[in-house]
Structure 1
Amino acid sequence: EWHGPHLPLGADLVLAEGFAGESAAPGPGPRGVLFPPVAYAACPGQTRPWPGTVAIRPEIAVGYLADVIEGIVAAGFPRLLVVNGHDANMSTVRAAMEWVSGRRTASLLLVNWFQLVTPAETAELYGDSIARGHGGAYETSGVLGFAPETVRLDAVADLPPRPKLPVDHPYVLVESRPDPWQGWSGHVSLATEEAGRSVRATAGARLREIVAAWVAAPPP
């Protein structure tokens, strides 16, 4: 998926596979088997028109993921952690998990790496400027934490944030081509390798805590 010219088209894959590896880093804690990542998924209308994005229809993505998840469970793994690097996957992965859970006895855990570092913590890294948007400083730092050679910070300029609706209530807003927006957002110039190492360490530690608590809980 396109994240702007400063990030590789496989940015989400770098992050998902990287944090999946962090979940079973050497040291005390549960051991796991790392399966190959799912490279293609459903993408929102905001990024589909940009060059290089390969999008799978949601109904195809759900069926494909359901088959992959059920195949892993059928191979003898009663617990399956899915580490997500693409926000649009959250609904399709959950739908696939719900389907599999009705066919197999299993414990299926979905974690989105993006949510493992809190907004307050990213504010400490980047200040008051917008950093958590798609392809922004936070996500760019994450890629720098795993594959700095794939990032070109000099390829983009910072973009002003899109104003939010003047309400305090939760909502979901879906737009085809919001403006201003070119596939990335916020102050990319704030991203650094040092911030990337901090993001990797913080999110990786949180993920290991989640996995340890999950494995310690009674199975279904």
Structure 2
Amino acid sequence: MEFQYENSFGVKGKIDQSKIAILPIGAVEAHGPHLPLGTDNILAERLSKKIAKRVNGLVLPTLPYGQVWSLRNFPGSIHISNRSLIAFLVDIGESLYKQGFKTFAMVNGHLGNQTALKEAARELYESCPELHVFYFFYPGMNKAAAEIRDKNASHTTYFHADEIETSYMIYLAPEFVEMEKAPADIPDIPAYVDATPVPWEDFTGTAVLGDASIATRDKGKYIIDIALENIVNILESFGEIE
């Protein structure tokens, strides 16, 4: 159920029936020649709708901008600071709490947002102690991806517009994928990127961190289905689903 299409006269009853607000959070940034700038938004939205069906949740309008410092110099990328993102999320969470929600589930499509989401959740833990706040980023994906990858990852943490993320898109939003343009770009990422800020244009000219040309729907479905089950199980374990 999409929150923005409800009206003020009927929404209170639906909040009382659900108590779960789901916020898709993404970013606007370069994703190579084969995926759109809003890839992270699209993925967060599509996954959020799947979650909502399983947990009787209300999907909020997508928060479409994120912390994209690493890719901010690529054409089309729009960067906001962690400070801005944290403040925005805390304000949203506190408003949801006042509206009667008991659970605030942030579904993140962009790894760069995770620091801000975690900090916002900590602030909400203090200001809204009865509100359960979750920040989800494809839980279980690392193990699942390792099982089905055809090529090794460029980095142990980063994945971007590559075999994995492109597979997500082919599964969840194939209408936005141009596979005929998908590159096989496997950059040599220096070890120091884990210890100091490094703009990604220093090691990639495409913003693609792997072989996108070998992405498939089956790979995307395998990982997304695991992430979906893990999210539902986590919410169930906290008694969020009635």
Structure 2-normalised TM-score? Answer: 0.77
- Aligned residue for 2:166? 140
- Aligned residue for 2:50? 22
Gap change, CA 1:215 and 1:97, over 3 Å in 2: same
1:194 Cα deviation after fit: 2.3
Query: What is the DSSP-based 3-state SS (H/G/I as helix, E as strand, rest coil) of the residue aligned with 1:12?
Result: helix
Task: Give the aligned residue type for 2:182.
Answer: V
Could you tell me whether the CA contact under 8 Å between 2:189 and 2:203 is conserved in 1?
Answer: no
Which of 41, 57, 62 is 1:32 aligned to? Answer: 57
Greater RCO (CA < 8 Å, at least 6 residues apart): 1
**In 2, distance between residues paired with 1:33 and 1:182?**
36
- Aligned residue for 1:156? 182
1:87 Cα deviation after fit: 0.8
**In 2, distance between residues paired with 1:12 and 1:77?**
25
Could you tell me whether the CA contact under 8 Å between 1:137 and 1:186 is conserved in 2?
Answer: yes
- Aligned residue for 1:208? 232
**In 2, distance between residues paired with 1:165 and 1:41?**
25
Worse-superposed segment, 123-132 or 141-150 = 123-132
Give the alignment of 1:63-142 within 5 angstroms: 63-105=87-129, 106-113=131-138, 115-119=139-143, 121-130=144-153, 133-142=159-168
**In 2, distance between residues paired with 1:49 and 1:130?**
24
Could you tell me whether the CA contact under 8 Å between 1:116 and 1:207 is conserved in 2?
Answer: no
Query: What is the DSSP-based 3-state SS (H/G/I as helix, E as strand, rest coil) of the residue aligned with 2:104?
Result: strand
**In 2, distance between residues paired with 1:130 and 1:204?**
22
Question: Deviations for 1:155-201, whole angstroms, at most 9, x for unmatched residues?
Answer: 232112424539xxxx5443013314421111111101222222222
Task: Give the aligned residue type for 2:149.
Answer: Y
Q: Unaligned 5+ residue runs, structure 1?
A: none
Could you tell me whether the CA contact under 8 Å between 1:24 and 1:208 is conserved in 2?
Answer: no
1:69 Cα deviation after fit: 1.5
Two-structure CA RMSD over aligned residues (Å): 2.3
Task: Give the aligned residue type for 2:127.
Answer: R
Task: Give the aligned residue type for 1:58.
Answer: N
- Aligned residue for 1:11? 39
**In 1, distance between residues paired with 2:207 and 2:163?**
13
Query: What is the DSSP-based 3-state SS (H/G/I as helix, E as strand, rest coil) of the residue aligned with 1:24?
Result: helix
- Aligned residue for 2:197? 174
**In 2, distance between residues paired with 1:128 and 1:51?**
28
Could you tell me whether the CA contact under 8 Å between 1:130 and 1:187 is conserved in 2?
Answer: no
User: Which structure features the higher share of helix residues?
Assistant: 2
User: Which structure features the higher share of strand residues?
Assistant: 2
Could you tell me whether the CA contact under 8 Å between 1:159 and 1:181 is conserved in 2?
Answer: no
Q: How many residues align?
A: 208
Could you tell me whether the CA contact under 8 Å between 1:83 and 1:111 is conserved in 2?
Answer: yes
Percent of residue pairs identical: 24
Could you tell me whether the CA contact under 8 Å between 1:136 and 1:186 is conserved in 2?
Answer: yes
**In 1, distance between residues paired with 2:56 and 2:81?**
34
Query: What is the DSSP-based 3-state SS (H/G/I as helix, E as strand, rest coil) of the residue aligned with 2:222?
Result: helix
